[in-house]
């Protein structure tokens, strides 16, 4: 009662009090039924025929209203997880913090959730107010109040082609405004990851964050440190693979959320070479996402953290370490720090190490070294990384051009390129007054045919 009085005095509307939705018909919302997944229709229809309510909900409805075909479809229903599971042959209840049902149709996965009730006040929480576990169910209007943003709290019924809007989400979509439901401070305490979601949606959709929604973020940003690292990593990956990665990182920085996640972002984005390198990497990632191509998380994080590795690599070499051991020490130091912050999976960290470790090998273009490097299972990722370094001005463009030509060439053309590299190396060595010692040959020289087979192996290892 006191809270409502204070909100009234301050002029703050608490959308969570809404119990009756605004119902919009096809002519008002303009959703194209062809953009709705046939499997989503099948799930809602099955639930409705069994006597339950069922709607497409959340981001899928938002995207449909924006005229975009959603990649994923979530379903909300008043059926319990156990009741949902009984209706579908391939259905699995998962989750401890929030129970959901995964319904499978071939490779297509749909998440079905039961309407949540306002049980968060009594749910177990940590000392900072983050909800640890809450599986209380309730009516649909309470489920809408539990959702994070107004634009994600709408329900679409494929059977009637109607949209139920409890919190003015359709108005915010039309105004391109991102607004949290309820009091921002309380909602961020319940789940600090919402602060990262605000940034991702604002950057991805090109929406403006409503002032009341944005205001607490800089002060409450440290709460993200209390979230399990695996959840933060998942959210960061969604952010970086949104197709608007650079915009997301700039928004993260603007909101003061990057500290502890990518703490060198300030430094990188203020250095001309670093800024250009990160921009090129993220532009490439965004282009691949928009074209529907796969993106390697290892390559992405290797790019974001490269200048941190480069700085430490330089420091270790200046302290007397040999180049290759110095690079491994630098990689170890960076990964140790970032694994604590982002819970980088071992597979991703291994990919990052491989990409970084290959970089000095690209500068050795004489003898059999280039042929051996082509056989590396991660060659293509390392080569793409090299091209970014050349494009950003970190390395001479000639290095990338040589490898591009060598990669595409075959047999005798490759030998010609290597011979030319040998000549340049000898001339460079004489100029420096310290010619390189040539290693004695071991056994007969391989034929050009063996070298020519390497690109096929490399191409097969592309992500």
Catalytic residue among 63, 78, 143, 148: 148
Nearest partner of 111 among 124, 120, 97, 100, judged by Cα: 100
| SS3 at position 355 | helix
| 121 part of the active site | no
| 74 part of the active site | yes
Give the Cα separation of 279 and 258 in Å (integer).
17
Give the Cα separation of 104 and 84 in Å (integer).
12
The angle at the Cα of 13, spanning 11 to 14, to the nearest 5 degrees, equals: 140
Q: How many CB atoms lie within 10 A of CB 180?
A: 25
Tokens 């250095």 belong to which residue? 271
Element (H, E) at 109: strand 108-114
| 351 part of the active site | no
Catalytic residue among 14, 72, 157, 384: 72
Phi, psi of 163 (to 5 degrees): -115, 130
Do 265 and 239 meet the contact criterion of CB atoms below 8 Å apart? no
Terminal Cα-to-Cα distance of the chain (whole angstroms)? 56
Do 343 and 230 meet the contact criterion of CB atoms below 8 Å apart? yes
Give the Cα separation of 353 and 336 in Å (integer).
12
Phi, psi of 148 (to 5 degrees): -80, -55
Nearest partner of 116 among 130, 131, 128, 103, judged by Cα: 131
Give the Cα separation of 150 and 168 in Å (integer).
6
> Alpha-carbon Rg of the chain, whole angstroms?
27
Tokens 């009594």 belong to which residue? 122
Which residues are designated catalytic? Answer: 72, 74, 148
């Amino acid at each position: 009662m006191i809270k409502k009085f204070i909100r009234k005095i301050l002029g703050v509307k608490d959308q969570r009090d809404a119990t009756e939705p605004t119902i919009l018909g096809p002519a008002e919302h303009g959703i194209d039924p062809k953009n709705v997944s046939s499997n989503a229709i099948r799930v809602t229809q099955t639930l409705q025929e069994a006597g339950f309510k069922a709607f497409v909900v959340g981001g899928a409805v938002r995207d449909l209203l924006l005229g975009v075909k959603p990649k994923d479809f979530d379903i909300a229903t008043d059926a319990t997880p156990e009741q949902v599971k009984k209706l579908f042959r391939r259905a699995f209840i998962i989750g401890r913090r929030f129970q959901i049902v995964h319904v499978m149709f071939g490779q297509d996965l749909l998440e079905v959730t039961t309407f949540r009730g306002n049980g968060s006040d009594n749910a177990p929480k940590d000392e900072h107010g983050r909800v640890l576990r809450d599986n209380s169910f309730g009516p649909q209007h309470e489920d809408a109040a539990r959702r994070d943003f107004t634009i994600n709290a709408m329900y679409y019924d494929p059977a009637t082609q109607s949209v139920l809007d409890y919190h003015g989400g359709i108005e915010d979509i039309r105004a391109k405004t991102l607004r949290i439901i309820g009091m921002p401070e309380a909602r961020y305490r319940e789940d600090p990851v919402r602060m990262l979601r605000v940034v991702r949606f604002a950057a991805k959709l090109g929406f403006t964050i409503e002032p009341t929604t944005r205001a607490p973020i800089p002060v409450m940003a440290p709460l993200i440190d209390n979230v399990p690292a695996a959840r933060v990593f998942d959210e960061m990956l969604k952010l970086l693979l949104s197709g608007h990665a650079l915009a997301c990182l700039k928004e993260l920085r603007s909101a003061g959320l990057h500290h502890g996640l990518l703490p060198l972002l300030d430094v990188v984005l203020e250095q001309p070479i670093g800024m250009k390198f990160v921009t090129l990497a993220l532009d490439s990632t965004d282009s691949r996402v928009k074209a529907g191509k796969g993106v390697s998380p290892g390559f992405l994080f290797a790019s974001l953290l490269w200048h941190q590795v480069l700085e430490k690599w330089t420091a270790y070499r200046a302290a007397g370490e040999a180049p290759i051991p110095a690079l491994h020490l630098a990689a170890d130091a960076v990964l140790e720090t970032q694994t604590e912050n982002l819970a980088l999976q071992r597979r991703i960290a291994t990919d990052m190490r491989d990409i970084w470790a290959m970089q000095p090998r690209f500068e050795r273009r004489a003898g059999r070294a280039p042929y051996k490097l082509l056989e590396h299972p991660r060659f293509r990722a390392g080569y793409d990384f090299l091209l970014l370094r050349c494009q950003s001005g970190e390395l001479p463009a000639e290095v990338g051009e040589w490898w591009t030509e060598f990669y595409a060439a075959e047999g005798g053309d490759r030998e010609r390129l290597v011979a030319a590299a040998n000549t340049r190396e000898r001339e460079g060595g004489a100029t420096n007054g310290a010619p390189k010692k040539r290693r004695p040959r071991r056994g007969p020289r391989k034929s050009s045919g063996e070298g020519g087979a390497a690109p096929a192996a490399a191409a097969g290892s592309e992500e």
